[in-house]
Amino acid sequence: MKKATMSIGKRKNAIVIMIRAAMSIRKRISAIVIMKKTTMSIEKRKNAVVMMIRAAMSIRKMISAVVIMKKAAMSIRKRKNAVAIMIRMTM
């Protein structure tokens, strides 16, 4: 968590979200790393984490989804819809 360039408050929130998801520590760490690499605002990042958790996706699927999202130069609204569709499909 130290490596993540977030304020302590935001970091705590992220941890709380992760804990609620009941993810293993390894998954949690890699999820945080993925989030850091994606150049998203922290608010968007939180939403993404929540979406991923709800989707209960594996890390590999999560990574590929993020990569696809980054490569596709889509508006944020379209991107959110795409994520929602992915979640409904449960990959």
pTM value is 0.22
pLDDT in tens, 31-77: 666 656 655 566 666 666 666 665 555 556 656 666 666 665 556 66
Mind giving me the DSSP string for 13-73?
A: HHHHHHHHTT--HHHHHHHHHHHHHS---HHHHHHHHHHHHHHT--HHHHHHHHHHHHHS-
Predicted pLDDT at 7: 60
Q: What is the mean pLDDT of residues 78-88?
A: 63
pLDDT bucket at 91, cuts 50 / 70 / 90: very low
Highest mean pLDDT, choosing among 9-18, 23-32, 77-86: 77-86
Mean residue pLDDT across the chain: 59
Domains of the chain: which residue ranges? 8-89
pLDDT at position 74 is 56
